[in-house]
Amino acid sequence: MFAGLDFGTSNCSIAVMENGHPVLLPLEDGKTRLPSSLFIEHGMSAPAIITDEALGAQIAALKNEQDKTLSLTQEQLVNIARKQLRKAHRLHNAGDQRAQSIVQALAANGDVIFGEEAELMHISDPESGFYIKSPKSFLGADINATQRAVFTTIVEKMLAFIKQETESLKHNELSQIMIGRPVNFHGLLGKDGNKQALSIINSAAEKVGFKEIQFLMEPVAAAYDYERQLSEDKLVLILDLGGGTTDCSMIKVGPSYVKLIDRQDCILSHTGKRIGGIDLDNKLALMALMPEFGKNTVLNNGLPVPNHLFKQAVTVNDVAAQQEFNGRITGKDIEEYCRISPNPKLNRLKALRDGKYGLRVSRSAEQAKILLSDNEDIRLALHYIEQGFEVPITRSQLSDAIADELSKFERLMKEAIQQAGATPDVLYVTGGTAMSPVVQHWINSVFPGLEIVIGDHFGSVTSGLTTHAQRIFTG
C-alpha cells in the first residue's frame, strides 16, 4: 500500500487513494491532523499491545454513547478506541524506572504520547516528562552528532506511530510513502541543512519499515492537488503558508501535463523561507501580550528590562532561547527586576517562567489569531497566569504585529515570479496560516487583479502527495 505523508512543522497528516481520490485518515480523536508533538513520561511504561478483541470491545462501548458517535465513521471509531486503550494501559502500567534524560527516555523504547494529548500532558504537568514540539524545525539546524541521533529517533517514533495507525485502519502493510518537504528547512546551513534534514527523515523512514521512500516539494504537491479540478492548462503560483516554513512555486498544471511521470520541466521556480504560522503566533504574543507582562518597563535604576527576555519567553520553537530563559541565571535576573520595578506587571513574567507556561502562552496567542478570524476584537483569558487576567486584542493589532512577516511572504512570491520569468494565471493558497482574514486581505492587496483560489488549508499538500504517489508507485 502507498500513501502521501505531510510531515509538518505544526501538524502531520496522511492520505491513501480510495476510488481514485485521496482520502485523509484520522490520526487522533477521529481528526485527520496530528499536532507534531510528543511526550515521554518520566515513569516509563511498555507500549500497549492492542488486540482485536480489546479493540472490538472498546468500539462497542463507544457506539453505546449514541450522541457522541452517531456521525463518526468506522475508521474514526477505530482511531478513538485505539487512543483510549493506549491511555488506559499507561494509567495502569506506570513504570518504576525514571528516565533522567531525553536520550535515556528514547533509548528505553517505552510508551510515547503524541499529538494534542502530548501538548496537554506537558501543559498540565511540565515536570512529569520530556516534551518535544515541532521536531521538523530542528532537522536542518546546526546540530551535533548526539543531537542528530536524538532527532532521528524522535522522527522514527512519529513515523512509526503514523504508519501503525494507518495500517490498523486499512488492514494492509504501508510500504511506499511520498513525504512532503519544504523548499528550505529551518536552520542556517542552507543546502547542507536541507541535505541533513532529508537524510534524517529518510533514515527514520527506512528504520520503521518503509520500503520505498520518495520526497516531493510541498508547494508542488499543493499544485498537483489543485490540478485535479482543472479542465484547462494553467500557470499557477502556489503559496504554501505552513506552520514553520513558507514556500512558493510557479508550475504548469492541467490536462496536458497530468499524465506525465516526470514533471520537472513543468516547475519553473521555487522559493522558500523558514518562517510560518508559529512565527506569527510568537510575534503576536510578543507585541500584544508581553506589554501586559512588563515589556517596555523602565526600572527604578533608570534602565529598561532587557527586551530579549520577553522574546525568549514566547519563542517556544527555539530550544536555545528556551534553555536560557528557563536557566538559573535568568530566574535570578527576573527576581531582581521584579524587586526594583515600579511596574507590578513584571511579576507575570516571573509567573510565566516559574510555572513553565511558555507553551500555554504560545497556544493562547494562536487561539487569539483564530478568534480574530471571526471577530474584530477579543478578550483573551490568561487565568493560568493570574486569576481574572484578560488581555484585549484587536484584529488591527494582529495586522500590525505580523506586518514584517507578511512583507517577507510578499518577497518570496515576487521572487518566484521573477525566477519563472512569466506571469501566473492564478494564485493558489494553502496552509493553515492562510485562514486568517488579515492574511487573506494582505494577499488580495498584493495581487489585486489576479484570480486567487483558496485550497484546503490543511489537506491540499497531503492530497497532492498522495496523487503523485499513485503516479510514481503504480506508474
Q: Given the DSSP bridges, would you call strands 21-24 and 11-18 parallel, antiparallel or unpaired?
A: antiparallel
Q: What whole-number distance in Å separates Cα of residue 441 and Cα of residue 132?
A: 34
SS3 content of the chain, % helix, strand, coil (to 5): 50, 20, 30
Share of the chain above pLDDT 70, in %: 97
| Residue 363, in any domain of the structure | yes
Q: Which amino acid is at 475?
A: G
Q: Given the DSSP bridges, would you call strands 212-217 and 176-181 parallel, antiparallel or unpaired?
A: parallel
| Residue 304, in any domain of the structure | yes
Q: Which domain holds residue 325?
A: 278-372
Q: What whole-number distance in Å separates Cα of residue 448 and Cα of residue 428?
A: 14
Contacts of 349-357 with C-beta under 8 Å, sequence gap 24+, read 349/293, 349/294, 349/309, 349/310, 349/313, 351/385, 351/386, 352/293, 352/313, 352/385, 353/313, 353/325, 353/326, 355/126, 355/384, 355/385, 356/126, 356/127, 356/326, 357/384, 357/385
Asked whether the beta carbons of 23 and 118 are under 8 A apart, the reply is no
The pLDDT tens digits of the residues spanning 296-331 come to 999 999 999 999 999 999 987 777 788 899 999 999
Output the nine-digit C-alpha cell for 376. 474584530
> Band of the pLDDT at 173, cuts 50, 70, 90?
very high
Output the nine-digit C-alpha cell for 117. 494529548
| Residue 469, in any domain of the structure | no
Q: Say whether pLDDT at 69 is over 60.
A: no
Average pLDDT of 159-185? 95
DSSP 149-171: HHHHHHHHHHHHHHHHHHHHHHT
| Residue 419, in any domain of the structure | no
Which pLDDT score is estimated for 90? 86
Q: Say whether pLDDT at 124 is over 80.
A: yes
Lowest pLDDT segment from 23-27, 37-41, 428-432, 453-457: 453-457
Which pLDDT score is estimated for 97? 64
| Residue 342, in any domain of the structure | yes
Could you tell me the maximum CA-CA distance found in the chain, to the nearest angstrom? 72
- In the three-class reduction of DSSP (H, G, I as helix; E, B as strand; rest coil), residue 238 is classed as strand
Q: For all residues of the chain together, what is the average pLDDT?
A: 90
> Band of the pLDDT at 278, cuts 50, 70, 90?
confident
Who wins on pLDDT, 369 or 94?
369
| Residue 287, in any domain of the structure | yes
| Residue 452, in any domain of the structure | no
Which pLDDT score is estimated for 425? 95
Which pLDDT score is estimated for 178? 98
Which pLDDT score is estimated for 256? 94
| Residue 350, in any domain of the structure | yes
Please give the tally of structural domains in the chain.
1
> Band of the pLDDT at 104, cuts 50, 70, 90?
confident
Rounded alpha-carbon distances, angstroms, from residue 301 to 247, 331, 332, 337:
47, 19, 17, 10
Asked whether the beta carbons of 251 and 220 are under 8 A apart, the reply is yes
The pLDDT tens digits of the residues spanning 179-220 come to 999 888 876 677 888 899 999 999 999 999 999 999 999 999
Q: Which residues fall within 8 angstroms of residue 359, CB to CB, at 6 or more apart?
A: 119, 122, 123, 131, 133, 316
The angle at the Cα of 11, spanning 4 to 73, to the nearest 5 degrees, equals 70
> Band of the pLDDT at 9, cuts 50, 70, 90?
confident
